[in-house]
Structure 1
Amino acid sequence: MATLEQVQPTDVPEGEGVRRRDFINVAAVSFAGVGAVAVALPLINQMNPSADVLALASIEVDVSKIAEGQAIKTIFRKQPLFIRHLTAKEIAEANAVPVDSLRDPQTLAERTKAGKEQWLITMGVCTHLGCVPLGAGEGENRGEFGGYFCPCHGSHYDTAARIRKGPAPKNLQVPEYAFKSDTVVQIG
């Protein structure tokens, strides 16, 4: 057995064993990696939707109390949502409009679900600058085409919530939705 005095640095072959410098380099890189992860995780996590937004990721609305010709306003993902029960006359008016004459061409059938053409569900945000159009509430101005009217800059929407006049570039947005039953619709 060799004593401390007998072992010299030249007795250990070069390249074998862990040198102190190697250990310090590995420790420093590991420490920097852990620090980078500790900084990056909160930055990435703050980009996730907040809990109140996740809670409203989808909503269910009972449409049984909406009379024909009426509309309601509700909130979906912190934005107004319009649900309108179209009359036969409003459906006929919407279908009578030549699609190629529209700025954002869509038929009423493309904006509603098959078999549920009387239910028009749109976001209540004008596509021009984000104002809330009138026309969903009782007695509100529905514009020249009987749908919605945005008082901010004068956009007029028809009974299918399609832009017909004014500065808005697109129709009112139709969110994803599905009927869970004849009277309950799930939005989102």
Structure 2
Amino acid sequence: MADEASIDTTVPAGEGVRRRDFINVAAVSVAGVGGLATLVPLISQMSASADVLAESSTEIDISAIEPGQAIKAVFRKQPVFIRNLTQQEIAEANAVNPTTLRDPQSLADRTKPGKSNWLITMGVCTHLGCVPLGAGQGEVKGEFGGYFCPCHGSVYDTAARIRKGPAPKNLEVPPYEFTSATVVKIG
């Protein structure tokens, strides 16, 4: 009978289970919040810093580039060539059958519709990464009038397509868009 007297009959049956469930849910919730508080700083440190985000795109004013001229700019710490092609250069580039090229691309594949006179390419030779000549005033342009890589002799035409030498591919065309008639955003 002593056992019956020690049982507390004031607590309704099942209430202890509800208290235990509440404690379990509370403990899991606190652990989840603690886990998130630990993971958020770890994950956020992996995102790009402000200086990297600032270099993710570059806007360049192209209003001063005359037909037949090219300039060098910098995008992601690499040179970019922006060339305003003349009608003669466009005609010469279009006269070449792309299927005869090592890396077959037409001028239309390398420029934006309606802006075929603007050729924007990375200024890095696809052979071993040298910077080709031809964008600056008085630089050697090679026998096809485009770019010439002095490191190993790769020659590119006015559409920056490989025509001669060890380079396996054309100069890369980065992603770009015209934000106005005189400004191009690269990246």
Distance in 2 (CA, whole Å) between partners of 1:127 and 1:47 is 30
Match of residue 177 from structure 1? 177
2:79·2:122 contact (CA, 8 Å) conserved in 1?
A: yes
SS in 2 for 1:185: strand
User: CA deviation digits over 1:75-111, x for unaligned, max 9?
Assistant: 2233321111222332222112111011221111221
SS at match of 1:17: helix
Give the aligned partner of residue 41 of structure 1: 40
Task: Quickly say closer, same or farther: Cα 1:157–1:35, change in 2 above 3 A.
Answer: farther
Q: Deviations over 1:9-61 (max 9, x none)?
A: 57643563324x973x5555445433432343233323323212323444332
Q: Which runs of 5+ in 1 are unaligned?
A: 1-5
Q: TM-score, normalised by structure 2?
A: 0.76
* Residue of structure 1 in register with 2:17 after alignment: 16
Corresponding residue number in structure 1 for 2:75: 76
Letter matched to residue 186 of structure 1: K
What are structure 2's unaligned runs of at least 5 residues?
none
The one-letter code matched in structure 2 to 1:114 is P
Structure 1 residues 46 and 109, CA, compared in 2 at 3 Å: closer, same or farther? same
CA–CA distance in structure 2, aligned partners of residues 166 and 138 of structure 1: 23
SS across alignment from 1:167: coil
Among all aligned residue pairs of Structure 1 and Structure 2, give the percentage whose two residues are the same amino acid: 68
Amino acid of the structure 1 residue aligned with 2:83: R
Letter matched to residue 156 of structure 1: V
Residue equivalent to 2:64 = 65
Q: Which amino acid aligns with 1:52?
A: D
Question: Is 2:176–2:184's contact at 8 Å kept on the other side of the alignment?
Answer: no
Q: Does 1:55 pair with 2:45?
A: no
CA RMSD in angstroms comes to 2.9
Q: What is the letter of the counterpart of residue 16 of structure 1?
A: V
Q: Which residue of structure 1 aligns with residue 141 of structure 2? A: 142
User: Given residue 132 of structure 1, which amino acid in structure 2 is its aligned partner?
Assistant: V
**Distance in 1, Cα, partners of 2:130 & 2:30:** 51
Aligned to 2:124: 125
Contact 1:111–1:160 (CA<8 Å) still a contact in 2? yes
CA distance in 2, matches of 1:10, 1:167: 93
Q: 1:168 to 1:11 in 2, by over 3 A?
A: farther
In 2, Cα distance between equivalents of 1:143 and 1:154 = 9
Tell me which residue corresponds to 2:156. 157
How far apart in 2 are the matches of 1:150 and 1:157?
A: 8
CA shift for structure 1 position 121: 1.2
The answer as to whether partners of 1:180 and 1:186 remain within 8 angstroms in 2 is: no
Write the letter of the residue equivalent to 2:186.
I
Structure 1 residues 137 and 17, CA, compared in 2 at 3 Å: closer, same or farther? same
Which deviates the most, 9-18 or 75-84? 9-18
Q: Number of residue pairs matched? A: 180
Structure 1's 179 and 106: CA in aligned 2 closer, same or farther, altered over 3 A? farther
What TM-score do you get using the length of structure 1 for normalisation?
A: 0.76
TM-fit CA distance, 1:180: 1.0
